Amino acid sequence: MKERSKLSAWNLDCRAASELASESLDRPLGRGERLALRLHQLICPPCRHLIAQFHTVRRAVASLPTPWRRVWSEESIGLSAERRDAIKQLLQEASRSDEAD
Amino acid sequence: MLEPPPNDADLGDPAQWVDRYGDALLQYAVTRVGDRETAEDLVQETFLAAFKARRDFDHRAAFSTWLIAILRRKIIDHYRKDARTLVTTDAELDEVAPMFDRTGHWTVPPANWRSTPAHQAEKSEFWQIVRRCLAELPRHLAQAFELRELGLATVQEASEIAGITPRNLSVRLYRSRMLLRSCLEQKWFATEAVSASEKSADESSPMRVGQARSS
């Protein structure tokens, strides 16, 4: 990635801006970085779109099904019958050998 | 809240765990590892581990939450093993390079995604496409993205799991996000614009361009 020392609000290109935009999702940006990114966004619609897209993807992924809150009602996924039986079998064996101990 | 001391009877017949929690665990696993067979293996391991550790369950959390915590660790172990098999090419290959010209400007500028998946059916469809796009990414990049964005690990944890420095992880996350957004723009938002204009009279169409703003 780019040398951060060369970073300034006025020479940030789109590539550097996109790198900063990604990093802002993982760590708080420094003051200079934040300012540079904000100024770049003002003059650059594509980078503005990029940042919105990053957030859209993050939001969409965050609303993924967590088990006890079904987002995925369309196609609920279940254990196959064979697997279900296999696991029960294993658990029964485990509990028998447990009792034998 | 006072809870009774844990004992086996409270947790019921382990075989019933499978009926009660199996599908939910599988869903959690499938959305995170992508592959059904692997997900079923992980769920199986989770139940066996839960059985062995059942006396450690202390009732402070719901049993389901406890199972998920075990499954999450299994998934992370899976990623860790996966990471060891990856031949990484961070240094020599810059997947993002073609997206910019020599002056650092976009070759194909990102578009304004006018609508975002809002409804159940759309979300599910969108997720399928995210999955498909992730499958097209180099594995080490998809892995970085999944660890970070699927609520599996913090940045620090994710870099340990992947066996790379946080700085390196940051590079991988950057590349994965850039490739993913580019893929989504082609596969989801491009077809959306077409189908929305084609089917604008069709009210059952799940696409509602302009209805939801992307910011």
Inter-chain touch A67–B178, beta carbons under 8 Å: no
- Domain CATH code at residue B121: 1.10.10.10
- pLDDT tens for each residue of B64-104: 999 999 999 999 999 888 877 766 655 557 889 999 999 99
- pLDDT tens for each residue of A14-73: 999 999 999 999 999 999 999 999 999 999 999 999 999 999 899 888 776 544 333 333
CA A85 remoteness from chain centre:
34
Residues B101 and B180 in one domain: yes
Residues B156 and B135 in one domain: yes
Going from N- to C-terminal start, the domains of chain A cover 1-66
Residues B111 and B138 in one domain: yes
Residues B145 and B112 in one domain: yes
- Domain CATH code at residue B37: 1.10.1740.10
DSSP string, B172-214: HHHHHHHHHHHHHIIIIIHHHHHHHHHTTT-TT-S--TTTS--
Residues B71 and B104 in one domain: no
- Indicate if ipTM > 0.95: no
Residues B168 and B106 in one domain: yes
CA distance B21 to B10: 16
> Residue B214: what pLDDT?
40
Residues B121 and B191 in one domain: yes
Inter-chain touch A71–B123, beta carbons under 8 Å: yes
CA atoms within 13 A on the CB side of B167: 5
Å between A33 CA and nearest CA of chain B: 16
Residues B52 and B120 in one domain: no
> Residue B173: what pLDDT?
96
Specify if B215 maps to a domain. Answer: no
Specify if B3 maps to a domain. Answer: no
Specify if B63 maps to a domain. Answer: yes
Residues 188-207 of B with CB under 8 A from A: none
| Selected residue of B11, B19, B40, B96 to mutate for chain A interface (largest A Cβ count, 10 A) | B40
B46: containing domain: 8-85
pLDDT greater than 50 at residue A3: no
Residues B119 and B161 in one domain: yes
Beta carbons of B42 and B75 less than 8 angstroms apart:
yes
Nearest 10 degrees: Cα torsion B82, B86, B89, B95: -50
Residues 101-140 of B with CB under 8 A from A: 103-106, 109-113, 116-117, 120-121, 123-124, 126-127, 130
| Selected residue of A10, A43, A55, A56 to mutate for chain B interface (largest B Cβ count, 10 A) | A56
Nearest CA to B171 out of A33, A19, A16, A32 is that of: A19
**pLDDT by position in tens, chain B (length 215):** 444 444 454 677 888 999 999 998 998 888 788 778 899 999 999 999 999 999 889 888 889 999 999 999 999 999 888 877 766 655 557 889 999 999 999 999 999 987 777 776 777 778 788 888 988 998 889 889 988 988 788 888 889 888 899 999 999 999 999 999 999 999 887 765 544 444 444 444 344 333 444 43
| Bridge partners of residue A66, in order along the sequence | A69
Residues 38-77 of B with CB under 8 A from A: 40, 43-44, 47-48, 51-52, 64, 68
Residues B159 and B103 in one domain: yes
Residues B144 and B173 in one domain: yes
Residues B14 and B48 in one domain: yes
Report how far apart, in Å, the C-alpha atoms of B112 and of each of A87, B116, B170, B199 are: 48, 11, 25, 21
The number of folded domains in chain B is 2
Nearest CA to B136 out of B173, B100, B176 is that of: B176
CA distance A96 to B38: 27
Specify if B91 maps to a domain. Answer: no
CA distance B18 to B48: 11
